[in-house]
Amino acid sequence: MKRILKPRVLSLTIMIIVLVCSANIISQESTNFPTIGKVVRLDNRVNDLIGPDARIELLASGFKWSEGPLWIQDAGGGYLLFSDIPRNSVMKWKEGQGISLFMKPSGYTGVADYGREPGSNGLTLDSQGRIIFCEHGDRRISRLEKDGGKKTLVDNYMGKRLNSPNDAAVKSNGDIYFTDPPYGLPKGYNDSRRELDFCGVFRLSTSGDLTLLSKEMTRPNGIAFSPDEKVLYVAQSDSENPIIDAFPVKPDGTLGRGKVLYNFASLMRKYPGSPDGLKVDQHGNLFATGPGGVYIITPEGKLLGRIHTGKRTANCTWGNDGSVLYMTVDDCLCRIKTKTIGANWKNTR
The CATH number of whichever domain residue 82 belongs to comes to 2.120.10.30
Residue 109 phi/psi, 5-degree rounding, is -115, 10
Residue 232, strand partner residues: 225, 247
Residue type, 95: E
Map residue 27 onto helix, strand or coil.
strand
In a domain, 10, yes or no: no
In a domain, 318, yes or no: yes
Residues 6+ apart with CB under 8 A from 32: none
Residues 29, 96: Cα–Cα separation, whole Å: 5
Residue 285: inside a domain: yes
- 3-state SS, residue 158: coil
Whether residue 12 lies inside any domain: the answer is no
Query: Cβ contacts of residue 148 below 8 Å, gap of 6+?
Result: none
Residue 13 in any domain: the answer is no
Q: According to DSSP H, which parts of the chain are helical?
A: 7-22, 265-268
Residue type present at position 273: G
Residue 239 lies in a domain: yes
Domain count, the chain: 1
83 part of a folded domain: yes
What letter represents residue 217's amino acid?
Answer: M
Domain that holds residue 200: 37-348
**Quick one: pLDDT at residue 3?**
40
Q: How many residues does the chain have?
A: 349
Cα separation, 188 vs 68, in Å, equals: 20
Handedness of CA 128, 166, 147, 333 (dihedral sign): negative
| Count of CA atoms in the C-beta half-sphere (13 A) of 17 | 6
Residue 26 lies in a domain: no
pLDDT, tens digit only, all 349 positions of the chain: 334 444 443 343 333 333 333 335 655 555 689 999 999 999 999 999 999 999 999 999 999 999 999 999 999 899 999 999 999 999 999 999 999 999 999 999 999 999 999 999 999 999 999 999 999 999 999 999 999 999 999 999 999 999 999 999 999 999 999 999 999 999 999 999 999 999 999 999 999 999 999 999 999 999 999 999 999 999 999 999 999 999 999 999 999 999 999 999 999 999 999 999 999 999 999 999 999 999 999 999 999 999 999 999 999 999 999 999 999 999 999 999 999 999 988 644 4
Whole-number pLDDT of residue 2? 38
Q: Say what the pTM is.
A: 0.91
Q: Is the preceding omega at residue 105 within 30 degrees of 0, hence cis?
A: yes
